[in-house]
């Protein structure tokens, strides 16, 4: 019979090895959640792709493209063609005025048509009590220096208009309105007739808001600048 004293040390050694193995396994299990919590390269690429898509969408929305043209889309091609006969014909039609206003917004010059509309409304005033507040509002919005929607007027016209504000009458803004009208007729109106907005109406196409198509993009090294590599995924 073997000496039991010799067997017990072996058992103790085996037990100590088991405990060491258990400790290693336990520490490994504790570290696994930490590894899982760190975003991997694939997750980072997904986040970067999402940021790029949001950036492209934000950019597309700020390119000055036509937005709400559903109202103008009901215009028949025949009616739209009449707008090309003269600038006065265009402004005399409500749908034409709306379409032209939307076009000027794409060029960031809508203050011209807004001023013209304000003057038309001003001339419809029926009492002298209506003239003064309207005249002051138009002057503060469109005429005075550094006005929020200042229109482009020559020095003489601006001076005469500023003087007329003190005692406003129905013709107070006539000179300024005519100046802005000629500017739109000679500059903005020809571009409107060449614009996609107008040509689509003439062709009977829906000029509504263009669909933003999701663009596929190949990633390059530059796309990952500033992203720190995570080598733990290879361990």
The domain that holds 97 is classified in CATH as: 1.10.167.10
For the chain, how many helices (H) and strands (E)?
11, 0
pLDDT of residue 83: 97
The answer to the question of residue 23 being in a domain is: no
Instruction: Note whether 141 and 149 are within 8 A (CB).
Output: yes
Q: Which residues of the chain have pLDDT under 50?
A: 4-18, 20-37, 52-72, 209-224, 227, 231, 233-234
Residues spanned by the domain of 159: 77-203
- Length of the chain measured in residues: 235
Two tokens, residue 134: 């309207």
Instruction: Report the number of distinct structural domains present in the chain.
Output: 1
Instruction: Note whether 151 and 178 are within 8 A (CB).
Output: no
pLDDT of residue 226: 52
Q: d(Cα 142, Cα 179) in Å, to the nearest integer?
A: 13
The answer to the question of residue 126 being in a domain is: yes
pLDDT of residue 41: 54
pLDDT of residue 44: 54
């Amino acid at each position: 019979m073997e000496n039991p004293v010799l067997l017990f040390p072996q058992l103790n050694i085996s037990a100590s090895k088991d405990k060491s193995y258990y400790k290693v396994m336990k520490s490994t299990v504790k570290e696994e959640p930490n590894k899982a919590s760190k975003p991997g390269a694939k997750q980072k690429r997904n986040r970067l792709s999402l940021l790029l898509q949001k950036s492209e969408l934000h950019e597309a929305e700020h390119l000055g493209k036509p937005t709400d043209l559903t109202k103008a889309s009901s215009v028949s091609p025949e009616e739209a063609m009449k707008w090309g006969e003269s600038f006065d014909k265009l402004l005399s039609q409500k749908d034409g005025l709306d379409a032209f206003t939307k076009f000027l917004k794409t060029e960031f010059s809508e203050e011209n048509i807004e001023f013209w509309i304000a003057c038309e409304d001003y001339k419809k005033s029926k009492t002298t009590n209506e003239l003064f507040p309207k005249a002051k509002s138009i002057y503060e919005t469109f005429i005075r220096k550094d006005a929020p929607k200042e229109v482009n007027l020559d020095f003489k016209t601006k001076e005469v208009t500023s003087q007329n504000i003190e005692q406003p009458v129905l013709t107070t803004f006539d000179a300024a309105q005519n100046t802005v009208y000629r500017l739109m007729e000679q500059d903005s109106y020809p571009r409107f007739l060449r614009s996609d907005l107008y040509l689509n109406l003439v062709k009977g196409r829906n000029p509504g808001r263009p669909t933003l198509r999701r663009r596929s993009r190949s990633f390059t090294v530059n796309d990952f600048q500033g992203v720190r590599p995570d080598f733990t995924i290879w361990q």
